[in-house]
Amino acid sequence: MSAFGTGHVRIEGRDKVTGAARYSGDISADGLLRGWPVLATIPRGRITAIGTETVLPMPGVVAVLHHGNSPRLVAGAGWTDPDPNLQLLQDDRIPYAGWPVALVVAETFEQARAAAMSLPVEYEAQPWDVTFSAAHPGLYTPQEVNLHQPSEIAHGDLDAELAGSSVVLDQTYTTPEEHHNAMEPHAAMARWAAGRLDVVDSNQGAFAVAQDLATLFALDLSQVRVRSEHVGGAFGSKATTRPPAVLAAMAALVLHRPVRVVLTRRHMFSLVGYRPPTSQRIRLGADPDGSLRAYEHITATQTATTFEYVEPAGIVGKVMYAADALRIGHRVVRLDVPIPKWMRGPGEAPGSFALESAMDELAQMCGADPIALRIRNEPLLAPGSGRPFTSRNVIACYTEGARRFGWDARDPRPGLRREGRWLLGTGMAAATYPGETAPATAEATAEADGSVTVRITAADIGTGARTALTQIAAEALDLPPERIRMLIADSDFGPAILAGHSFGTASWGLAVVEACTALRARLDDRAERPFTVRVNTADQVRAGGRPERHAFGAQFAEVAVDTASGEVRVRRLLGVYAIGRVVNPLTVRSQLAGGMVWGLSMALHEEAVRDPASGGHLNANLAGYHYAANADVPTIEVDWVDDLDLANPTGIKGAGEIGIVGVAAAIANAVWHATGVRHRALPITPARVLSNPPGIVHA
């Protein structure tokens, strides 16, 4: 019997659509209080006064926590590095506009909000700088980029290869500051009972959050429990501990009552990370047929004064194309802004826009088909490391995508197809994302009724992970999925990697397979039930090393551009992927299509605008921050090719992030094909289209 690879509806789907599923902001408790964070209105300076006496007499107000009366927190908490965003209400310093300066706690949400909006806070402002520029004098070369990868990679003589190239491209591509706003805002409810901190939190990894809270409050890990059974989207914004959990726990400790903190959309624009703006210079040198001799990708971006996160846009070049000389570098400037952090496809999403746009331009310069050019530059080994790939089926994605999209019928010349005032064009781009595995703990219990209960600190952030893990367990145990009870998202179940970097299901799935296989081997020897088997895959993952394991894909887009209004409409999107073994076609298709929708939104809509005069955003809400709505989204086709890869015994590579990669470039390339105008800055808004009128062909 095999449940693996079969379409299954989500186990919790009915509960979600009927409202029975309870999210963190829904969880109540006796005596529950509500907290509302008050945010700084200047980007740099110090607090000189907080007028608590003004709001404490207001109806329902119980307390106002601030740096003068809050519990002292221990430094050092953070998943990969100490995170200063967690050192809340500890001093009078203001590092950016939107930094929490107080927490108003009241009996009701409305009372807390009213008091928070009335709380007087006085500041001593200091000179600030919130404006990113690739020419900023403060740019420097960091040692590392995201997840401790080297920021600089080079081999070969780049200058010599550029000098010897018949065709040279030298262009700069820019992406704006972008923000994730999941359907469910960040929320946490905390209570202290019998010396133990119990938190229900909206997050991507309950165990990591429990570790952070234990550090912050000087507790043993056994004294902290974090649960996140249902999460309404995350995209990286809930990957690590966020302010609601810390603030709720602080208030609950002081007031001896449970406290819930829920962020608003405006709160989320400064407190939960974002994708920073990038300026990416790409230089390609090639022979007349498009064979690459030189490839350089230098990214400039911003980070915060309090923490160095570097958006790794250049890392896409470590994987995609062969060149005799390679140079990848990153530059960063510290500004008085919130800390940027992970956002779906960190690095690859903005990096692929630049690289895949540049490859399209190179194909144009060489008179080559964009797909043929990419195939011509296929590497035998990973360009960045020189190691072999565990599998690399991107050519199959090109071939199948071209067949389904009708690419062979495309006239490569731009600006030829027209329907009335609409110019039509098609474009494509490649996609890649790592397919890694991390350690996890899983526990399987043979129950007296013949069913099996599996426990693992996985997180289902809308991806269908709970259902996929049930299918994986069912196959390992040779039982129907209905006989599996999958319990997830509870830090008491032991250490497990978070839902992020597309390694959640692969990592948890490996642990579930190991636990269920071990349980099954002992079933015949154990007459008494229940009994439990517990495994941890740390040694197994460590023994496997870090192979060059990546998912790949090809994105295809057709657009129509209105010559009168400048509007760009996407008519068709097709994505074909090589993502290893597919557990659940229904949920995987949903994940990939969702990523493609976000790529469309990135190409045409999303742009956070920061006001240099105030340091804050001009559009910190979902009215001013534009994103793709239903009317913007066309028919989307998603498929995948066979991709046998057993570097992970489950064969899973992950599909959570690759869907967004390359879509913006495919759309931008299609806009060029429609109009003859190359757009190297996102988003491609009507105003930008009209500033370079269609019909004027730009080299």
The predicted-structure confidence for 163-213, as pLDDT tens digits, reads as follows 999 999 999 999 999 999 999 999 999 999 988 999 999 999 999 999 999
Residues 531 and 639 in one domain: no
Nearest residue to 686 via CA among 565, 605, 603, 570: 565
Q: How far is CA 389 from CA 47, 130, 183, 193, 432, in A?
A: 53, 41, 37, 51, 12
- Identity at 339, one-letter amino acid code: I
Contact 171, 359 (CB under 8 A): no
Nearest to 152 by CA among 298, 286, 329: 329
Q: Is the pLDDT of residue 2 over 90?
A: no
**Of 497, 525, 543, the domain-final residue:** 543
Domain assignment present for residue 113? The answer is: yes
Residue 193, burial from CB neighbour count under 10 angstroms (0-12, 13-18, 19+): exposed
Q: Is residue 611 part of a domain?
A: yes
User: What confidence score (pLDDT) does residue 527 get?
Assistant: 67
Residues 442 and 365 placed together within one structural domain of the fold: no
Same-domain pairing of 300 and 416: no
Report the 3 state secondary structure along 461-517.
CCCCHHHHHHHHHHHHHCCCHHHEEEEECEHHHCCECCCCCCCHHHHHHHHHHHHHH
Residues 518 and 396 in one domain: no
pLDDT classification of 697: cutoffs 50, 70, 90: very low
Range of the domain at 495: 437-543
Active-site entry in 311, 400, 443, 657: 657
Are β-strands 196-201 and 224-227 bridged in parallel, bridged antiparallel, or unpaired? Answer: parallel
Four-point Cα dihedral 67, 68, 72, 75, nearest 10: 40
Q: What angle do CA 350, 355, 361 make, to 5 degrees?
A: 130
For residue 396, give the H/E element and its range: helix 394-405
8 Å CB contact between 484 and 454: yes
Is a pLDDT exceeding 80 seen at residue 4?
no
For 361-374, the three-class secondary structure string (H helix, E strand, C coil) is HHHHHHCCCHHHHH
Query: Given 495, 526, 543, which residue is the final one in a domain?
Result: 543
Say what the pLDDT of residue 699 is: 36
Q: Given the DSSP bridges, would you call strands 153-155 and 325-335 parallel, antiparallel or unpaired? A: antiparallel
In a domain, 12, yes or no: no
Statement to judge: residues 393 and 496 lie in one domain = no
Q: How much is the mean pLDDT over the chain?
A: 96
Token code pair at residue 691: 């500033």
How far is 299 from 351, CA to CA, in rounded Å?
9
- Considering its fold, how many domains does the chain have in total? 4
Q: Are residues 298 and 222 in the same domain?
A: no
The DSSP H or E segment spanning 541 is helix 538-543
In a domain, 334, yes or no: yes
402 and 519 in a common domain: no
pLDDT reported for residue 547: 84
| Token reading at 410 | 């495309």
* Cβ count near 94 (within 10 Å): 26
pTM value is: 0.97
Give the separation between CA 313 and CA 135, rounded to whole angstroms: 18
Note whether residue 633 is domain-resident.
Answer: yes
Within-domain flag for 3: no
The answer to whether residues 527 and 499 touch, using CB atoms and an 8 Å cutoff, is: no
Distance, in Å, from the CA atom of 658 to the CA atom of 552, rounded to the nearest integer, reads: 8
Give mean pLDDT, residues 616-626.
95
Q: Is the pLDDT of residue 526 over 80?
A: no
d(CA 489, CA 512): 14
Does residue 263 fall inside a structural domain?
A: yes
Q: Is there a single domain that holds both residue 483 and residue 509? A: yes
**End of a domain among 359, 378, 397?**
378
Rounded-to-integer distance, Cα 500 and Cα 491, Å: 17
pLDDT (mean) for 70-93:
94
% of the chain surpassing 70 pLDDT: 99
Are 257 and 279 contained in the same domain? no
If asked whether residues 686 and 553 sit together in one domain, one would say yes
Give the whole-angstrom CA distance, residue 213 versus residue 204: 15
Write out the two tokens for 335.
């500004």
Pair (55, 137) in one structural domain: no
The predicted pLDDT at position 5 comes to: 84
657 catalytic residue (yes or no) = yes
pLDDT digits (tens, 9 = 90+) for 375-391: 999 999 999 999 999 99
Of 492, 512, 510, give the one whose Cα is nearest residue 214.
Answer: 492
Residue 498 CB-density burial (10 A; 0-12 exposed, 13-18 middle, 19+ buried): buried
**Structural domain includes residue 583:** yes
Query: Which residue in this structure is represented by tokens 């903190």?
Result: 261
Same domain, 622 and 558: yes
pLDDT at 543: 87
C-alpha count within 13 angstroms, C-beta hemisphere, residue 51: 13
Confidence tier at 79 by pLDDT (50, 70, 90): confident
Q: What is the CATH number of the domain that holds 348?
A: 3.30.365.10
